[in-house]
Amino acid sequence: MRSLQGPAIFLAQFAADAPPFDSLDSIGAWAAALGFKGVQIPSWDARLFDLAKAAESVTYAQEVQGRLAAHGLAVTELSTHLQGQLVAVHPAYDATFDGFAPEAVRGKPAARQEWAVQQLRHAAQASRNMGLAAHATFSGALAWPFVYPWPQRPAGLVETAFEELARRWRPILDAFDDAGVDLCYEIHPGEDLHDGASFERFLDAVGQHPRCNILYDPSHFVLQQLDHLAFIDIYHPRIRAFHVKDAEFRPNGRVGVYGGYLPWVDRAGRFRSLGDGQVDFRGVFSKLAQYGFAGWAVLEWECCLKHPEDGAREGAAFIAQHIIRVTDKAFDDFAAAGTDDAANRRLLGIG
């Protein structure tokens, strides 16, 4: 068993044009003052980070780490959630996802995908230059418009989608393997990798690639009504990153899992700040400790009610209270009688 690291915070939802959220140094000082020990960096946000420069320059990569270390912070992972989404985009979502890309490739799906793939390659090298063990991303989606089987899906449609998804991702996975970094897909509705079964299908399609791993976020499983504790039991060998995010699911006579096109605050399934939802975090942290997850517990704030700064302040303490310092001895060691092979054999009647 191993103890988790943390608390840490994903900076994506906090970066802004006003201080203290407008630069790496100032947002780092803010996070450290709340009690965080690490930060997960959104690699697309130029206010905080230059991904291409970190890939090309070990000096810059180490400078970023040094600036955060001055506040007592470590870099937990880099994130390419937005770029990963663009590796695979169904045409139905071209316009809505175009905003994730630079203006030069908007409206040009092939060029946009090429840009996204290069971003992931930069992320592999940047992670290597920073000595990071894991990287956070999305898989993108080709089959998501067909997630509900009506009209009936044509035979082979899903298989073809995952073959193509694997074809696009396999060279990226190889790049991360060359860099010695685990690529962790956040299992998330809207992605083709949205539950255990879809992750298994993709894992098979990429030949059980050793760098194909999971960013575990239990909030998405609450909203899908999937057992978030059993998921850890099944997939713990592939869980290499962890978002600590809460959610609640309260269906009623008007709305259920699909949400009825309602805004977040009116949906049956809603993201909440830590401790305000239904995730069994005692169970989550216990299982991750049991299975020896030694990565970071990273707060991701996405509450539809609470102010983000309050969610961050409360979240730092919440995570710190849930991290288990694992024991280095058995509780009944005091009663141990020592090792005596001859005595053991006599007790078993075989000596």
94 pLDDT exceeds 80? yes
206-256 confidence digits (pLDDT tens): 999 999 999 999 999 999 999 999 999 999 999 999 999 999 999 999 999
Structure tokens at 114: 């090429």
Cβ-contact 193, 139 below 8 angstroms: yes
46-69 confidence digits (pLDDT tens): 999 999 999 999 999 999 999 999
- Amino acid code (one letter) for 174: D
- Mean pLDDT across the chain, nearest whole number? 96
Predicted local distance difference test score (pLDDT) of residue 63? 98
- Cα-to-chain-centroid distance, residue 63: 25
User: How much is the average pLDDT of 86-104?
Assistant: 97
Cβ-contact 236, 229 below 8 angstroms: no
331 pLDDT exceeds 80? no
Predicted local distance difference test score (pLDDT) of residue 328? 84
103 pLDDT exceeds 80? yes
Q: Is 318 exposed, middle or buried (0-12, 13-18, 19+ CB in 10 A)?
A: buried
333 pLDDT exceeds 90? no
Predicted local distance difference test score (pLDDT) of residue 336? 76
User: How much is the average pLDDT of 15-25?
Assistant: 97
313 C-beta neighbours (distance < 10 Å), count: 14
5-347, what's its fold? TIM Barrel (3.20.20)
User: How much is the average pLDDT of 195-207?
Assistant: 98
Terminal-to-terminal C-alpha distance of the chain = 35
User: How much is the average pLDDT of 136-154?
Assistant: 97
Predicted local distance difference test score (pLDDT) of residue 338? 75
Q: Give φ, ψ of 332 to 5 degrees.
A: -105, 20
Predicted local distance difference test score (pLDDT) of residue 340? 84
Predicted local distance difference test score (pLDDT) of residue 330? 79
Cβ-contact 319, 274 below 8 angstroms: yes
Predicted local distance difference test score (pLDDT) of residue 316? 98
User: How much is the average pLDDT of 294-303?
Assistant: 97
Predicted local distance difference test score (pLDDT) of residue 74? 98
Distances (CA, A) of 282 to 229, 233, 269, 285: 10, 15, 21, 5
Q: Give φ, ψ of 327 to 5 degrees.
A: -75, 150
Q: Please report the beta strands in 55-115, taking only residues with DSSP state E, as ranges in sequence order.
A: 74-80
Give the H or E element holding residue 193: none
Before 7, cis peptide (omega within 30)? yes
Predicted TM-score (pTM) of the model is 0.95
Per-residue pLDDT band for 1 (boundaries 50, 70, 90) equals confident
Domain ranges of the chain: 5-347
335 pLDDT exceeds 80? no
Least confident residue range of 30-44, 303-317, 330-344: 330-344
Predicted local distance difference test score (pLDDT) of residue 233? 98
- Amino acid code (one letter) for 10: F
- Nearest Cα neighbor of 100 from 116, 111, 121 is 116
